[in-house]
């Protein structure tokens, strides 16, 4: 793998992606090509930076904090939440990611060295971001489409949380499906990056499989904590949206 071949391959894939999304006239079609360009720049900078700090616990902690902040900001932007709600999103991302990581490292399942903390932390934080964003979007849409049902329960005297319970449950169930399917199809449909990376790093297939199972379990646990916190915070809406609107 050379820099030239990598550059050419990425350029061709970006062009292919752009051609398809623009021809289909997707909403904001520039997002997908731009995402690859951003990832290339960000990973390049990250690779250079990590060469000197990956073994330093302090700098690893700084990177994890930055990841949590970036993930929270992304969730807040995607869901169009207010600045006041950013504090909740920050807490959700941090707690949901920290819970499985604390269990894994406390039980000695993974060596708590800086490089493993950063690797596992980055994977889990990214998953939390995806689950929180997906649930927020689904819940907002379901509150609009299921407005009559929720209002019916409210008219019968139900509390807002009870009235929206089925709507919240559907959104939460759908939000965690991608993480569930990732675990269910591992080794059959997909070869996960953590597994392949561990083998390329010199681990035996058995050791790589053990690490991958830990990653998948941590991802699912983090997702479960995420939907629990999102359900608690947004599961009793004070007002029902009549159209696309941020959660309250």
Top-confidence residue, 56 or 87: 87
Mean per-residue pLDDT over the chain, rounded = 85
Verify that 47 and 63 share a domain, yes or no. Answer: no
Q: What is the DSSP string of 59-103?
A: HHHHHHHHHHHHHHHHHHHHHT--HHHHHHHHHHHHHHHHHHHHH
Verify that 71 and 45 share a domain, yes or no. Answer: no
Give the Å distances, CA to CA, from 34 to 9, 69, 104, 137.
Answer: 16, 21, 35, 22
Give the Å distances, CA to CA, from 38 to 31, 34, 41, 60.
Answer: 10, 6, 5, 22
Half-sphere exposure of 188 (CA within 13 A, CB side): 5
CB atoms within 10 A of CB 227: 24
Verify that 165 and 223 share a domain, yes or no. Answer: yes
Residue 11 pLDDT more than 70? yes
Task: Look at residues 118, 113, 121 and name the one whose alpha carbon lies nearest to residue 96.
Answer: 121
E strand or H helix at 36, and its extent? Answer: helix 31-53
Boundaries of domain holding 230: 54-234
User: Which of 53, 73, 91 is the endpoint of a domain?
Assistant: 53
DSSP tag of 110: S
Q: Where are the beta strands (DSSP E) in 106-207?
A: none
- 35 domain-assigned: yes
- 243 domain-assigned: no
Verify that 123 and 211 share a domain, yes or no. Answer: yes
d(CA 195, CA 200): 9
Verify that 229 and 109 share a domain, yes or no. Answer: yes
d(CA 62, CA 65): 5
Q: Which two tokens stand for residue 5?
A: 């071949």
Residue 89 pLDDT more than 90? yes
> Total structural domains in the chain?
2
- 246 domain-assigned: no
Verify that 214 and 199 share a domain, yes or no. Answer: yes
Residue 242 pLDDT more than 70? no
Under 8 Å between Cβ of 170 and 137: no
Confidence of residue 114 (pLDDT cuts 50, 70, 90): confident
Residue 170 pLDDT more than 70? yes
pLDDT of amino acid 156: 86
Residue 243 pLDDT more than 80? no
Verify that 14 and 67 share a domain, yes or no. Answer: no
Backbone conformation region of residue 108, classed left if phi is above 0, alpha if psi is from -120 to 50, else beta = left
């Amino acid at each position: 793998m050379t820099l030239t071949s990598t550059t050419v391959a990425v350029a061709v894939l970006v062009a292919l992606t752009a051609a398809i999304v623009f021809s289909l006239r997707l909403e904001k079609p520039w997002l997908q090509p731009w995402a690859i360009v951003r990832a290339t720049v960000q990973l390049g900078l990250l690779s250079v930076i990590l060469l000197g700090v990956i073994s330093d616990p302090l700098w690893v902690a700084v990177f994890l904090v930055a990841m949590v902040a970036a993930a929270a900001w992304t969730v807040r932007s995607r869901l169009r939440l207010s600045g006041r709600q950013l504090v909740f999103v920050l807490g959700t991302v941090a707690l949901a990611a920290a819970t499985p990581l604390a269990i894994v490292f406390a039980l000695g399942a993974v060596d708590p060295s800086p490089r493993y903390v950063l690797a596992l932390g980055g994977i889990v934080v990214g998953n939390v971001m995806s689950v929180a964003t997906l649930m927020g979007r689904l819940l907002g849409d379901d509150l609009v489409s299921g407005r009559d049902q929720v209002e019916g329960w409210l008219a019968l005297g139900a509390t807002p949380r009870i009235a929206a319970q089925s709507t919240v449950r559907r959104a939460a169930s759908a939000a965690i499906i991608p993480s569930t399917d990732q675990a269910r199809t591992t080794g059959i449909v997909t070869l996960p990056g953590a597994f392949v990376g561990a083998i390329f790093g010199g681990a035996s297939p058995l050791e790589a499989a053990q690490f991958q199972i830990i990653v998948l379990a941590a991802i699912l646990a983090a997702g479960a904590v995420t939907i629990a916190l999102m359900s608690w915070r947004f599961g009793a809406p004070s007002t029902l949206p009549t159209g696309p609107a941020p959660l309250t």
